[in-house]
Amino acid sequence: MEHGLNPGAVDYEYLILGGGPGGLQLGHHFAVAGRRYLILEAGEGPGSFFRKFPRHRTLISSNKVYTGYDDPEINLRWDGSSLLADDGRLVFGDYTRKYFPPADKLVQYLTDYASCYSLNLRCNTRVVRVERLADEAEGFRVCADGGSSWSCRRLIVATGMTRPYIPAIPGAELAEQYVDVSVNPCDFINQRVLIVGKDSSAFETAENLIETTASIHVCSPNPLAMPWATRFVGHLLKAQNAVLDATIEKIVRHDEGRLVVSLRHSRSCGETGDTVYDRVIFCTGFRFDASIFSEECRPELAVNDRLPAQTCEWESTNVPGMYFAGTLTQVRDSRKATSGFIHGFRYNTRALFRMLERKYHGRELPVREVEPTAEGLMIAALERINRSSALWQQDGFLHDVIILPADGGKALYYEELPLAYVHETSLSASDHYYTIALERGDGELLHPVIRRWNGPLLVSEYHLLESLCGEWKDLEHHIAPLRELFAKHLEERVRVRK
């Protein structure tokens, strides 16, 4: 029990809102640590979001079962749905061999995960209000329909993004929504359809309708950027179908009942034009629902009010003690990493747990000692570069950190931390430390990047060569250059201190 906690003051140390993968992952960490926690889930079982979405019941996260490796840690580099657990009893690949797996298999897996690890989960509990306790320092009260309520010292919001995001387009009310539009292709026979959006929901909808519609246009202002979406594009760039880079200025209903959409094309010097469609479907994603929070503890929003604003510890920027887990943590990486998906936020959740343990329970971040020599630093860095699934999946966002103490003692190796957290905490107090990450170059292949820092000041940056196989074990191109890099830096440090 944490220091100073009055057992009668609150019901739980932590309440977790949402029994999806983010809530279950954090619940598992709390359970192992012996923390008093409760997960509240509105649905009849874990992962209620995935009981309906995606609408066409196929996930976009890859499930590569056969990787050529026996190491479970390395295999997680191609496992898009498994949650983390030290014993490795439950692996999603045991549920299906499909590369793009059925959503129902994920629901089954999440249900089994909660049961296997005996998570403290209460289902069929819809939260209707979150408020501060009378003494704000004591925490929060969470109220559910039916009159039940619970108090907690700290609140973890893992509800995901559940409200459809509707762009501010004149005539948007004339469009249908991804959440409830028909998924029966026969309802669209010989119709001209405009699908608004270019994320996964747009392309799964397009793929479902490709055989029956007269034409499909997929439209948003920006070109395709997410590589997992492009698996559908080959189907669309044929015949009367197209992907449009355009802004929708308005939608109006024609006298004959069809919809006239005014488009401003992004690539044609702002050229405008009207196109007639039978139906317009908004597949523009979801947003965070802040309606359950009372005014005194309603989190500020960011990214067009789609996500709660968060600090480097995934804490609300304006409500102390309120943290976020799961897909909501993507606000910190601005869609540059994979925090919106299980294979990304499972590592964020583990990092969040470690931050909470450090901040509130006096348990320092996991750390190991490394020989402060060029050989020792090289071996430690390459071991992680070649094996870590967190650095692989959260490329450019999560970093390992090696700190060289001023007294010349053992180097300290920390794993999987956001760079902002490193810079905003005491970890960056050293005048000589390294961050190690895997990042993508222009060729889209991952490669290791080693940066040397003096406090917040970037001293140098070194990129190892890209590797098609994701292995950095070559003596000439990887081992020797990294050893020489560390040797040079250590020699410079000695000269400076003299």
Indicate the residue type of 122: R
Separation CA 163–CA 159 (nearest Å)? 11
Six token digits for residue 70: 């026996």
Average pLDDT over residues 224-228: 55
Bridge partners, residue 252, by sequence: 260
Distance CA 449, CA 463 (A): 5
Using the 8-state DSSP alphabet, how is residue 14 labeled? Answer: E
Return the SS3 of 161.
coil
Q: Which SS3 state, helix, strand or coil, does residue 465 take?
A: coil
The model's pLDDT over 227-243, given as tens digits with 9 standing for 90+, comes to 544 444 444 445 568 88
Across residues 144-161, what is the average pLDDT? 97
* Tens digits of residue pLDDT in 418-475: 999 999 999 999 999 999 999 987 767 899 999 999 999 999 999 999 988 999 999 9
Q: 144 near 126, Cβ under 8 Å?
A: yes
Instruction: Output the six-digit token pair for 355.
Output: 């931050």
Residue 495: which pLDDT band, with cuts at 50, 70 and 90?
low
Q: What is the mean pLDDT of residues 385-403?
A: 97
Percent of the residues in the chain that have a pLDDT greater than 90, as a whole number: 84
Phi-psi region of 241 (alpha: psi -120 to 50; beta: other; left: phi over 0): beta
CA distance linking residue 22 with residue 347, whole number of Å: 10
The pLDDT value recorded for residue 443 is 63
> Mean pLDDT across the chain, nearest whole number?
92
Q: What pLDDT sits at residue 152? A: 98
pLDDT at 161 over 50: yes
d(CA 315, CA 418): 13
Per-residue pLDDT at 234: 40
Let me know how long the chain is.
Answer: 498
Which domains does the chain possess? 12-163+287-361 (3.50.50.60), 172-282 (3.50.50.60), 367-497 (no CATH)
pLDDT surpassing 90 at residue 226? no
Contacts 24+ apart (CB under 8 A), 87-96: 89/116, 90/116, 92/63, 93/63, 93/65, 96/63
Is pLDDT of 336 > 70? yes
The model's confidence at residue 267, banded by pLDDT at 50, 70 and 90, is confident
Per-residue pLDDT at 239: 56
- Tell the residue number behind the tokens 């870590």, with chain if given: 388
Tens of pLDDT, residues 71-111: 999 999 999 999 999 998 999 999 999 999 999 999 999 99
> Which residue is it, tokens 């995606």?
54
pTM: 0.93
CA neighbor of 312 nearest in space, from 399, 405, 441, 437? 399
Residue 493 burial (CB count, 10 A) = 17
10 Å Cβ neighbour count for 126? 12
Q: Kindly state the tokens that stand for 312.
A: 């480097």
Q: How far is CA 181 from CA 86, 170, 205, 212, 283, in A?
A: 41, 20, 10, 15, 10
> Is residue 127 within 8 Å of residue 292, measured between CB atoms?
yes
